[in-house]
Amino acid sequence: MTNEKPYRPNVGIALFNADGRVLIGHRFKGDGPEIILPGLDWQMPQGGVDEGEVLRDAAMRELWEETSVKSATYLGETDWLTYEFPPYDGPQTHRLAKFRGQRQKWFALRFTGKDDEIDPLTPRNGQPAEFDAWRWERLDRVADLVVPFRREVYRAVAQQFAPLAG
């Protein structure tokens, strides 16, 4: 049986510090089909694209909403990548239940601020906090820290952005 549901338009952000490491956040709760698993609850910032929103603007908005970071410059982006949500038996009224997965464009950004700018716990734009902790990590290690249904996308992102990690 084929899945007729569409993919949700989404942006992901690989925020590189001066040492070539990327910011990852520790997810402290699942969100419908976007489950987390013990030990696999880290990810880079990502989020949905609003109707008519410019993708690079969406990436900057999502980065700010999830981390408070505004001090970032554009380095590059991927082509579209997709992943499927795992089976979901929850309420079909959940905002993500109408999608089969996510269609993502990933943006590489250079962090130009100081670490004390990063605050994942304060809600912004009426969005609840998604992360309860953050850290800098080697890009080539992040795929091993995320839920399995995201791994191939993270590996593709790591491969495409490897030259930026130095």
Dihedrals phi, psi of 67, to nearest 5 degrees: -135, -15
User: Nearest to residue 137, comparing CAs of 6, 15, 5, 39?
Assistant: 15
Domain contains 45: yes
Q: Which two tokens stand for residue 9?
A: 């338009």
User: Nearest to residue 46, comparing CAs of 104, 85, 113, 111?
Assistant: 104
Query: How many domains are contained in the chain?
Result: 1
Q: Which two tokens stand for residue 148?
A: 């399995």
In order along its 166 residues, the chain shows pLDDT tens digits of 557 899 999 999 999 999 999 999 999 988 888 888 889 999 999 999 999 999 999 999 999 999 999 999 999 999 999 999 998 888 888 989 999 999 999 999 999 999 999 999 999 999 899 999 999 999 999 999 999 999 999 999 999 999 998 7
Domain contains 68: yes
Domain contains 20: yes
Domain harbouring 158, CATH code:
3.90.79.10
Residue 2's pLDDT is 59
